[in-house]
Structure 1
Amino acid sequence: MSDVFGRALLDYQKGEYTEDIKTYSSLDEADVIPVPYLFREFDEMPKIEQKALQLARGKVLDIGAGAGSHALYLQNKGFDVTALDNSEGCIAVCKERGIHSTVVSDVLDYANERYDTLLLLMNGIGLAGKLNNLSNFLQHLASLLQPNGRILLDSSDIIYMFEQDEDGGYWIPNNGTYYGEIVFEMEYKGQKGKPFDWVYVDFDTLQNACESNGLDCELVISGEHFDYLAKLTLKK
């Protein structure tokens, strides 16, 4: 079953919530994504997400919309917002929650319109999968922007997950890959989805990638746990 995430959200939406989504990654032990958290209101969101929503302008594309909590908040504020997700289950939930404009698609396959704001929250840059895909990913995002548009994304520097030595350096496996690259797998009600690549990008690495792809990259705020919000705009 490929859409375990969408199925979990649909169950919650129908009032059939009995368990959370289990996650397994190549870096860490098993963890869970609490399904109710994906349906959070603005007041329950981390400061980074609240700030991103406050910086949204004009016509908005919420990429990797999930249960649509960010899109719904903006729509209720009067924004013209489209929720995009490659999960049919997620988009069904977005529709049931009242989001007017939705798209089932991978963002890399989507090129229909241009937007004033692209939102990629909950480590949305992770959709690039691997660091060597980041340039193509950023170029595609740039192609979806209006000339004065902005991309608002958050990510984390997961260096903290590696062991530190006495002089403050980190022990990072030297296997030729970027330390933020992870393989994830999700499980819900005993069924596992397909493993997928995900990447956490530290701010300096993101800024360098933007610089070589015609984008300005501004650090908006840093969170409490090595996370940050960045605002990307097209170079003038």
Structure 2
Amino acid sequence: MKDLFGKAILDYQLGNYTEDIKTETSISEEDDLPLPYLFRSFKEMPQLEQKALQLAKGKVLDVGCGAGSHSLYLQDEKKLAVTSVDISPNAIEACKLRGLKDARFLDIMTLENEKFDTILLLMNGAGMCGRLDKLGEFLLKIKSLVAEYGQVLLDSSDIIYMFEDDEEDGGVWIPADKDYYGEVDYIVRYKGETEPAFDWMYIDYNTLKKAAEYNGFTCELILEGEHYDYLAKLTLA
């Protein structure tokens, strides 16, 4: 991996901001992701993220922390102990420069022998497992890291609307090359370079709930957004 996402984050942190990240998926055209958005303050965050941060408590694990904006709010404003992890070494370097006390370059699937009261999977963090057939393994790993009375707070979106037919019958067209309509191939471009496509997934709430309950969680819908997005809380069953 070229770590273009992380390079862009680090560029912004070091004052080398000249252009935004471009993203594209197998079901959507290229779009700009403004780098300043990744460095947003609490007041600039969507309501779902604000609610998750308000609910966070105890020892926190921020999975896929990116530029670390969620972690910084919890560490500096709520005075919580936060461990921030990401598979991007450049993003983690930026997080450390921003003042995060415990930012680690690692894959969440390799983390062991620690327990957390709150685990954050924000900005569609539930989709980082990439494919629906990997969700069970991912949830079991997360489960192994949750303290007895802990919680997992995650957001995602139901993208079924992207397949709706314009005809009056209200039908939907589902691509045959994927096991689940929320699975996409994700591409990142930055400063003339292109990252190889990687697996990503948007998961609807009902599918998440079934998978969570099958793997030993209780799943609760906390908040619904304005565009098919939602915030959910998982606790040990």
Shorter-chain TM-score: what band?
over 0.9
Q: Is the 2:154–2:233 Cα contact (8 Å) retained in structure 1?
A: yes
CA distance in 2, matches of 1:105, 1:208: 28
Alignment partner, residue 197 of structure 2: 195
Alignment partner, residue 123 of structure 1: 124
Normalization by structure 2: what TM-score? 0.97
Deviation at 1:110, TM superposition (A): 1.4
Which amino acid in 1 is paired with 2:97? E
Q: How many residues align?
A: 235
Alignment partner, residue 108 of structure 1: 109
Q: Is the 2:164–2:170 Cα contact (8 Å) retained in structure 1?
A: no
Give unpaired runs (5+ residues) of structure 2: none
Pairing of 1:45-84 with structure 2 (within 5 A): 45-76=45-76, 77-84=78-85
Identity of aligned residues (%): 57
Pairing of 1:155-166 with structure 2 (within 5 A): 155-164=156-165, 165-166=167-168
Question: Residue 172 of structure 1 is aligned with which of 168, 171, 174?
Answer: 174
CA distance in 1, matches of 2:161, 2:217: 28
Alignment partner, residue 219 of structure 2: 217
Deviation at 1:171, TM superposition (A): 1.7
Which amino acid in 1 is paired with 2:189? E
Residue by residue over 1:175-233, the C-alpha shift from the partner in whole angstroms, topping out at 9 and shown as x without a partner, is 45200000111011011112110000000000000111110000000000100000000
CA RMSD between the two structures: 1.0
Aligned structure 1 segments of 4 or more residues deviating by more than 2 angstroms: 173-176
Normalization by structure 1: what TM-score? 0.97
CA distance in 1, matches of 2:82, 2:188: 28
Residue by residue over 1:160-181, the C-alpha shift from the partner in whole angstroms, topping out at 9 and shown as x without a partner, is 1113231323122234520000
Which amino acid in 1 is paired with 2:32? V
CA distance in 1, matches of 2:106, 2:155: 21
Which amino acid in 1 is paired with 2:60? V
Residue by residue over 1:111-159, the C-alpha shift from the partner in whole angstroms, topping out at 9 and shown as x without a partner, is 2411000001000011110000001100100000101010000000001
Question: Residue 187 of structure 2 is aligned with which of 185, 188, 193?
Answer: 185
